[in-house]
Structure 1
Amino acid sequence: MGLKECEIKLDSPINTYFAGQTVNGTVMYSFDSPKKVRGIKVRFLGEARTSWVETEKVTKEDGKTENERKDVTGHEEYFQITYYLLGGINASETELPAGAHAFPFTCALPPTLPSSFEGEFGHIRYTIKVTLDRPWKFDQDTKMAFTVISPVDLNLMEAAAQPGKLVMEKTFWCCCCATPPLSVVVSIPVKGYVSGQSLPLLAEIDNKSSVEVEKIKFQFKKHTAFHTTAPKMTKKNEKVVGELAIGPFNKSEQRTVRQSLDIPPLPPSNLDNCGIIDLHYALDIVCEVSGFHTNLGGAIPITIGTIPLRDYKPQAPESQQSIDISMMPTQPVSPDNVGGAVGWNMGGTSLYPNVPPPNFSESDYQAKTIKDREDNEHTRLVGNQDAFAPRYPVYTFQPSAPRID
């Protein structure tokens, strides 16, 4: 049989790195009998892909119209590095004896990589593939994915520290007469947050009208746009990642309500270096009124970062998460190894003494199986055999943190 087992181990216990860091690892082979090989090579690949099926009407020669399904795709490659750990493309055969063999490898990630992302119609994915190059036989491949995070320091974004406000006002017509207005003002203290924080909501309702407000619905949404290149097309997708509702509010009622939404593990709002996937977040507000009247609605844009605002004291979320230091990357985050982005520590000295270090959590989206585009019957996955979910930074704030009204 020869090959008994192959395993890829990385120096990060959660296979997560920041753009600009160096990935170090070892590929470990186990043979139950001597194995002849020409070489062992490793390939690092960063790429984005989009795809879906479009249906268009096509007129046939007989004049009949039929629906025709067509695959549309998009692709970008950010980097690809391939080199041999043993032997070479023109090397002579080498016989590896039975037993265990370890081959170390390393790769410096470019500092401009977009963050890992998994979506319904596309993904940004980083993979390592190790190939056992066998003469006169099928190569044997082992492939795994790892997460890359492009740091987003909210302190470097002026708009993130600005408060957000949405003012909605409407006058209704009842019995041919206009009622006094319904006024709804929603405010948030800042527009930039990190996963693990709570988004404080302040809603001021002044219902001078004769129409009842059934509820005010808040939805924190992730908006994604996927683009293809052959041909050029766009498909938009939105997903609610958090929501709550308040109400009802009676006629002629005036009230102020404070609530908060927890920010779940999410990819940061920085897919700027990806040309085929756009990502942004928004807080959608809908004021649902009774009767046949039109609802009021609007949105406040939200930025999700990986480093929280230094001067913003967040409200602690209701569900606290524990900090697991072992879940942090094995290398310190500093301008030297994240392409100039400032991390939460530098040389062991914290730049943000009042901000805890993040842990890393998987998103709730379970990605499709990682398939090798170079179809090979010997390719298999490492780790989770069925799905890949990137891990994103999540901060844990202490319950004693003051609330911002």
Structure 2
Amino acid sequence: MVKPRKFQIILHDEKVVYAPGDDVTGHLELQLDEEMFMKEVQVKFAGKAFVTWNEGKRSYSEKEKFFSETTIVHGQDSSSTSDRASLPAGDHRFNFQFQLSPLLASSYEDKIGYIRYYLKARIVKPWQIDNKTTHILQVWNTLNLNQLNDMMLPVGGENSKNLCCCCCASAPIEGDVHISRRGFVPGEKIVVNASLENHSSSKVRQTSIEFVKIVTYTTRTRETTVIKSLAKEMGPPCKPRDSLNLNNVELRVPSVRPSGTHHCNVLHIRYAVMFMSHLRRGAINLRVYAPIIVGTIPLVGVSGDNAATGGVNITSPTTKNVTDSLPPSYASATSGAYDNPVNQDVNITDKPTSTYYDWNQSAFTYS
């Protein structure tokens, strides 16, 4: 059985991230030590979403195909019964070109679901195992915060709960959280104010302010939502019948994909600032949410500490000085999803290591 010495996909533009509507051009590199007989060499360009999870003994899953296109770069249609094709020993190069649809959801990976775009090359061999190689494409939508409504308006939330002791309910524990605006880009600092009124006879063990990702996975028969904390600042406890205020707590928006999942029906992503009161063991903690939108193009006119974005601190609307470190890596922002993704038929090896808005170049940047 002849095996290729080298079989890989090379992209010509060397992009780290593609935008919907972009052209994808490249070639296959194939090295053979001896002649290989085959049916054909093909390149498949595909995009799909998939979710799966278990609840008890039941399993739920759903898939959504965005597109699938296959080009034969050598040989003939594998459904044909005509003679086999062959390639002599040596180096071979096969060009290909595809175009992304202008209406695509951004790439995403976690342990429950994914939105994935990839190229898969295959040497189709009759009566033998095919040779395959895969290349993942990262596709990100542009989300201009200036084109959305109410991004500069303050947002907040409030919530309360009663602790139960035997058959009696205690006086309520009440919390609220507020931030100065709704729209941010990765790397920006969110300034958070929160307060807690503990009217109960129980101590609030501690408090926290967190940046959370809220992902909803949907099948035809079931829906589930997972909330994951991506950044956290811990706060003090609160004694019974006491109160506390957390003022000007700073959270940096981590390196995450834009809000929403347009053009995808099985997976939807939101973000929020969450104020949590950590209660006694056995009690459900009090959570208060302030929803935010994470975009790729920041709001016009932001300045000062709120615009300390992507490693850059804006000291005035026209003067920009590099002061801070870059935001965390893409893998850490997705909570290590690449360590154990939902992986049916491709290997996750190609991904941006960091995403942030570069204020010097006025561009969303990947590194």
Does TM, normalized by the shorter one, top 0.5?
yes
C-alpha distance in 1 between matches for 2:173 and 2:258 = 36
Q: Does 1:40 align with 2:8?
A: no
Identical-residue share of aligned pairs (%):
24
- Partner of residue 326, structure 1: none
- Partner of residue 6, structure 1: 7
Judged with a 3 Å threshold, the aligned counterparts in structure 2 of structure 1 residues 127 and 106 are, in CA distance, closer, same or farther, namely same
Q: Give the superposed CA RMSD.
A: 4.0
Q: Does 1:306 align with 2:287?
A: no
Give how far 1:52 is off.
2.3
* Among 91, 103, 107, the residue aligned to 1:100: 91
Give how far 1:151 is off.
1.4
Q: Does 1:190 align with 2:191?
A: no
Give how far 1:362 is off.
2.5
- Unmatched runs of 5 consecutive residues or more in structure 1: 56-68, 173-177, 323-351, 373-380, 399-405
Judged with a 3 Å threshold, the aligned counterparts in structure 2 of structure 1 residues 99 and 390 are, in CA distance, closer, same or farther, namely same
Judged with a 3 Å threshold, the aligned counterparts in structure 2 of structure 1 residues 269 and 355 are, in CA distance, closer, same or farther, namely farther
Give how far 1:88 is off.
2.2
- Deviation readout 1:194-237 (Å, 9 max, x if unpaired): 111111123467999999876442121111111223xx112221
Give how far 1:43 is off.
0.7
Pairing 1:4-403 to 2, within 5 Å after superposition: 4-13=5-14, 15-55=16-56, 69-89=57-77, 90=80, 92-166=83-157, 186-203=177-194, 215-229=206-220, 232-247=221-236, 257-287=247-277, 297-313=287-303, 315=305, 321=311, 361-364=329-332, 365-366=337-338, 367-368=340-341, 370-372=343-345, 393-396=355-358
- Partner of residue 364, structure 2: none
The one-letter amino acid paired with 2:227 is E
Give how far 1:147 is off.
1.0
- Partner of residue 365, structure 2: none
Judged with a 3 Å threshold, the aligned counterparts in structure 2 of structure 1 residues 102 and 197 are, in CA distance, closer, same or farther, namely same
The one-letter amino acid paired with 2:236 is G
- Unmatched runs of 5 consecutive residues or more in structure 2: 164-169, 361-367
C-alpha distance in 2 between matches for 1:10 and 1:100 = 17
C-alpha distance in 2 between matches for 1:255 and 1:362 = 33
Give how far 1:245 is off.
2.3
The one-letter amino acid paired with 1:80 is S
Judged with a 3 Å threshold, the aligned counterparts in structure 2 of structure 1 residues 353 and 143 are, in CA distance, closer, same or farther, namely farther
Contact 1:27 1:103 in 2 (8 A): yes
C-alpha distance in 1 between matches for 2:62 and 2:85 = 40
1:279 aligned counterpart, secondary structure: strand
1:195 aligned counterpart, secondary structure: coil
Judged with a 3 Å threshold, the aligned counterparts in structure 2 of structure 1 residues 360 and 273 are, in CA distance, closer, same or farther, namely farther
C-alpha distance in 2 between matches for 1:16 and 1:219 = 28
Give how far 1:247 is off.
3.1
C-alpha distance in 2 between matches for 1:171 and 1:360 = 37
- Deviation readout 1:268-303 (Å, 9 max, x if unpaired): 11212111112111111134689xx99764210011
- Deviation readout 1:172-191 (Å, 9 max, x if unpaired): 9xxxxx99x99866432211
Contact 1:266 1:363 in 2 (8 A): no
The one-letter amino acid paired with 2:222 is M
C-alpha distance in 2 between matches for 1:299 and 1:258 = 16
C-alpha distance in 2 between matches for 1:242 and 1:300 = 15
Give how far 1:167 is off.
5.5
C-alpha distance in 1 between matches for 2:112 and 2:174 = 39
Judged with a 3 Å threshold, the aligned counterparts in structure 2 of structure 1 residues 133 and 355 are, in CA distance, closer, same or farther, namely farther
Judged with a 3 Å threshold, the aligned counterparts in structure 2 of structure 1 residues 140 and 321 are, in CA distance, closer, same or farther, namely same
The one-letter amino acid paired with 1:124 is I
Deviates more, 1:263-272 or 1:161-170: 161-170
Judged with a 3 Å threshold, the aligned counterparts in structure 2 of structure 1 residues 17 and 370 are, in CA distance, closer, same or farther, namely same
- Deviation readout 1:36-74 (Å, 9 max, x if unpaired): 23321111110011122344xxxxxxxxxxxxx443320
How many pairs were matched up?
336
Judged with a 3 Å threshold, the aligned counterparts in structure 2 of structure 1 residues 45 and 359 are, in CA distance, closer, same or farther, namely farther
C-alpha distance in 1 between matches for 2:175 and 2:3 = 71
Contact 2:274 2:288 in 1 (8 A): yes
